[in-house]
Amino acid sequence: MTLSERARTGLRDMPSNAAWLFSRALKPAEAVGNAAESATATARDRGREVTAAVLDATPVGGDSVDVRMRRARDAAEQAREAEEQAVEAAQESKERSDHARRVSERGRARMSEVDREASRRVKQRVAEAEKAANEAVQRTRREAEAEADEQRQATRAEIAEELEDAQHHADEARERAEELVADATAKLAEARRLADEATQAARAAAEKAHRQAQELADEAEQQAGDAEARIEAAERLRKETETTAKTTARELKRTPPTPNGSLESYRKPELVELASGAGIEGSTTMTKAQLVDAIAKASRKN
């Protein structure tokens, strides 16, 4: 019962780990990496603890209890796998977010480079145009700036498209992680239910075994009492037999009959009983004549 309680405690803790993992998966990309590593270690250790606790709680005997314990172990294993999948999905979400951040950084770098190049070109053309005339300089400036703006817009559009694509993949990874966490939570709940059923079955089996043991103890006590009663009855019978044999021996001594005459009228079982009462050894293997002779000799000695 203590081991089953440990199994239920481990299963109750696992949904909280899954919820914590889900909350970490929705945070910024910088925190997701550490959360994924910590959640992976926690989920793996908790899966081992639950598996060991469920195995230790398995009762001995009873097919229904074994089946339920196997179901509990299978459900715990499935929950552990589902939680590991959720961790992997969180890691993938982190990688997608990192990629989106890198795309954004590259876009800003490219934008800076384009700005520098555009400014250089504007200055170069202005310098060339100033040699011709002030009007040519103004016209060239406007053309250069228009071209720079166009290039900026094209670059911005390209960067926005790449960023949108990266963000889309990151959102898909996050949704996948949410689904896996929900599935893991459901499987953990099922594992907890099966563990509770197995614990109840084990407790019922233990109570039944206790009742059977008590019944056997009562029966053994009753049989012991019957045996003592039979021993007392046998002892009384032995004493009565000895008394009868001694009485018969005294009667034979007071009124000695013709040689072995009166003993001949006894049946062999009666003679065996008389011989046993007189302390004659081996009476059960003697013939009737030997018994008569041995009893007569014993009565004469007395």
Under 8 Å between Cβ of 72 and 54: yes
- Predicted pLDDT of residue 28: 46
- Predicted pLDDT of residue 64: 77
Does residue 296 lie in a domain region?
A: yes
- Predicted pLDDT of residue 53: 54
Does residue 118 lie in a domain region?
A: no
Does residue 159 lie in a domain region?
A: no
* 238 in the same domain as 191: no
- Predicted pLDDT of residue 144: 92
* 277 in the same domain as 168: no
**Number of independent structural domains in the chain:** 2
* 248 in the same domain as 293: yes
- Predicted pLDDT of residue 126: 86
* 8 in the same domain as 72: yes
Does residue 42 lie in a domain region?
A: yes
pLDDT along the chain (302 residues), means of 10: 50 49 48 54 61 51 74 88 88 89 90 90 88 85 90 90 87 87 85 86 86 83 78 71 62 47 79 84 89 85 66
For residue range 29-72, list pLDDT tens digits in order.
Answer: 445 455 545 655 665 666 566 555 545 554 544 557 888 888 88
- Predicted pLDDT of residue 9: 53
* 168 in the same domain as 273: no
Select from 150, 173, 207 the last residue of a domain: 207
- Predicted pLDDT of residue 43: 54
pTM for this model (two decimals): 0.28
* 191 in the same domain as 93: yes
- Predicted pLDDT of residue 29: 43
Domain interval for residue 265: 232-301
Question: Quick one: which of 40, 26, 16 has its CA closest to 88?
Answer: 40
**DSSP 8-state secondary structure symbol assigned to residue 264:** G
- Predicted pLDDT of residue 103: 92
* 195 in the same domain as 53: yes
Q: Which two tokens stand for residue 129?
A: 């145009």
Q: Provide the mean pLDDT of the chain.
A: 76
Does residue 132 lie in a domain region?
A: no
- Predicted pLDDT of residue 255: 44
* 238 in the same domain as 170: no
- Predicted pLDDT of residue 225: 78
Does residue 129 lie in a domain region?
A: no
Separation CA 42–CA 181 (nearest Å): 15
Q: Which two tokens stand for residue 279?
A: 């302390």
Classify the C-alpha dihedral 69-10-191-82 as positive or negative: negative
Q: Which residues contact 126 (CB under 8 A, 6 or more apart)?
A: 137, 140, 141, 144
* 242 in the same domain as 199: no
- Which residue shows structure tokens 């715990």? 76
Does residue 244 lie in a domain region?
A: yes
Question: Quick one: which of 7, 35, 13 has its CA closest to 23?
Answer: 35
* 241 in the same domain as 190: no
Does residue 187 lie in a domain region?
A: yes
Under 8 Å between Cβ of 24 and 35: yes
- Predicted pLDDT of residue 146: 92
Phi-psi sector, 259: left (phi>0), alpha (psi -120 to 50), beta: beta
* 168 in the same domain as 74: yes
Under 8 Å between Cβ of 65 and 205: yes
Q: What residue type is 106 in one-letter code?
A: R
Q: What is the number of other CB atoms lying within 10 angstroms of the CB of residue 277?
A: 23
* 296 in the same domain as 168: no
